[in-house]
Amino acid sequence: MKELLGTGVALVTPFNEDHSVDFEGLARLVNYQIDNGVNYLVVLGTTGEPATLTAKEKALVKETIIKENKGRLPLVLGIGGNNTMAVVEEIKTTDLTEFAAILSVSPYYNKPTQEGVYQHFKVISEASSKPIIIYNVPGRTGKNMEPSTVLRLANDFKNIVAVKEAAGDMVQAMRIIQHKPDDFMVISGDDMIALPMVLAGGAGVISVIGQGLPKDFSEMIQLGLQKNVDEAYKLHYKIMDSVDYIFEECNPSGIKALLQKQKICNSNVRLPLVKATEKLEQKIAKFIDNY
C-alpha cells in the first residue's frame, strides 16, 4: 500500500456558528492539505466527530471531500464501532469506490478480550472489499490491542494491511515493527512520537496537527523516511509545542482553534465537546504568530 506511506491527516468536520456543517470550510481544509504536501486524507476518523454527525451529514461530508479532492490524493474512510455486525453492514452498504482503504477502530466501551478483538476484525476483514487499517487507541477505547493480536491479524488476513498505533507506547510499536510481515505497515497515531516511530521502521503517520501545519509536518515525515535524522528533528522540535496545545483540552477542540487562527475554518465543535478555552486559544495564537 504505497499510497499510505508518509503523512495522512485525520480531517476535522468544520461547523458554522449554528453548528451546521461548514462545507466551504471543509473544501478550504482539503485544498490546504493538497497544496502543502500531505500524502493522503482520512475521512470521518475520530477527529471528524462522526459520533455526533447524522447519516445524511456523513454522506455530505464524504461527497464534499471526494468532489474537492478530484482524485488528487488517496482517501481513507473511517468505518468502525463497537457493534461488529453494524460495522459489517456499513461496509457492505457504503460505496467505497473512491477510497483506497478503511480505517477501523478497535471496539470501544465493551472492552473485549484479545480474542474478541481478533474475532471482530476477522469478521470485518471477511466483509471488506478494501484494504483495512486497524486502529489501536486505548486512551479512547479503554482496551489496548496487544502486539500479539495485531501480528496475528497481520499474518492471518491479507487485506489487513496496516495498524494505526496510538497507544503512545514506543516499545509496543517497536515490538510490532520487529515481528511484522514485510508488507504490513505500522502507522503512528501519535503526533508526538510519529518521527521516532518512522525512524524505528514505521510507515508514517495519521496526524491531527498535520492538517494545521501540513507543509512542515509532511516534510518532517519524509525526512524521517529518508533517515535524514538531524533535519527531521529540527522540524519536530519546531512543531512540538503545538502538539501539546492541541491535545490539552481534547481533540478536535484544540486543532480547530489552530485552524481558526489560520482562517481555514472556525473553532466550533458539537456537544459533548466544547470549544477551546480563551486561555488555550491565546497560547495557540501566540504559537502561530511566532511560527
Neighbours of 34 (CB within 10 A): 16
Residue listed under C-alpha cell 500500500: 1
Catalytic residue list? 135, 164
Contact 33, 259 (CB under 8 A): no
Q: How far is CA 180 from CA 82, 137, 196, 202, 222, in A?
A: 26, 19, 18, 11, 22
**Helix orientation angle between 114-127 and 84-93, rounded to the nearest 10 degrees:** 20
Residue listed under C-alpha cell 481558526: 260
Contact 65, 40 (CB under 8 A): no
Which ranges of the chain would DSSP assign to H, the alpha helix? Answer: 23-35, 55-69, 84-93, 114-127, 138-141, 147-156, 170-179, 194-199, 214-225, 229-247, 253-261, 278-290
Q: How far is CA 156 from CA 2, 151, 202, 255, 287, in A?
A: 21, 8, 20, 37, 46
Contact 183, 148 (CB under 8 A): no
Q: Which of 76, 106, 71 is nearest to 9 (CA)?
A: 76
Cross-strand bridge partners of residue 120: none
